Amino acid sequence: MPVIELKNIRKTYQMGKEMVYALRDISSSIETNEYVALMGPSGSGKSTLMNIIGCLDTPTSGEYFLANENVSTLTGDELAHIRNRKIGFVFQTFNLLPRMDALENVALPLIYSGLNKNTRLQMAEHALKIVGLDDRMKHRPNELSGGQRQRVAIARALVNNPAIILADEPTGNLDSKTSIEIMDIFRQIHEAGNTIILVTHERDIAEFAKRRIHLLDGLIESDSSL
């Protein structure tokens, strides 16, 4: 069963008197435990599609099913609830809170889960062990390297056991050696059974994925699997 199903997704914006067609007619599905790279040049629609897949935005028309739930018509509050339960985000800029240590940053998505603090911190500690950072749990972001900060961000994405992990240019701020180390962590996470969607414009990074969807002018130009 697909974890993601997109049916005739369109997204339009009114820019003054002009109508902009960001997504024209996107239909696709992603199975559980797939590793997909979403590619395309600037203006191709990949950022818009990423926002819809990540429940940060809703389509103008069409249907989006996430883990068998139709999320295409939900309100902002309902989308926020879905994001917190079903999606783990990894961003290019890490998005860590500077006053919190690594453990506290990783535990953040669990605050609204109803779990007590000790349980939240135990789950965060487990996630940091997965990414090999259990010896840096009490370090704040400014005491960590760029690669270590991205590992914290990946642990935060993993902590609530999401249906999908959505990684937006996760190596964009890293050197090539550190990028390969981070992509190796994603490989291990995928092999452990997680579904990963990687948004990137870098072909060498996209090659780590098992399937590549290429967008152009709001349409899927190609969809190929290894």
156 close to 148: Cβ distance less than 8 angstroms: no
Q: Quick: pLDDT tens for 24-55.
A: 999 999 999 999 999 998 889 999 999 999 99
Which residue, among 125, 172, 120, has the nearest Cα to 146 in the 3D structure? 172
pLDDT of 93 reads 87
Residue 164 has pLDDT above 90, yes or no: yes
**Element (H or E) spanning 82, and its range?**
helix 76-86
Determine the structural domain holding residue 30 and report its residue range. 2-225
- Bridge-based pairing of strands 164-168 and 87-91 is parallel
Q: Quick: pLDDT tens for 196-222.
A: 999 998 899 999 999 999 999 999 999
pLDDT of 15 reads 86
Q: How many CB atoms lie within 10 A of CB 2?
A: 16
Q: At 112, is the pLDDT very low, low, confident or very high (cuts 50, 70, 90)? A: confident
**Which one-letter DSSP state was computed for residue 112?**
G
Q: How many domains, in total, are found in the chain?
A: 1
Residue 126 has pLDDT above 90, yes or no: yes
The number of CA neighbours under 13 Å toward the Cβ of 101 is 12
* pLDDT, the chain, mean: 93
CATH code: domain of residue 136: 3.40.50.300
Q: How many CB atoms lie within 10 A of CB 42?
A: 7
Mean of the pLDDT values across residues 113-129? Answer: 93
Output Rg (C-alpha) for the chain, integer angstroms: 17
Q: CA end-to-end span of the chain, whole Å?
A: 20
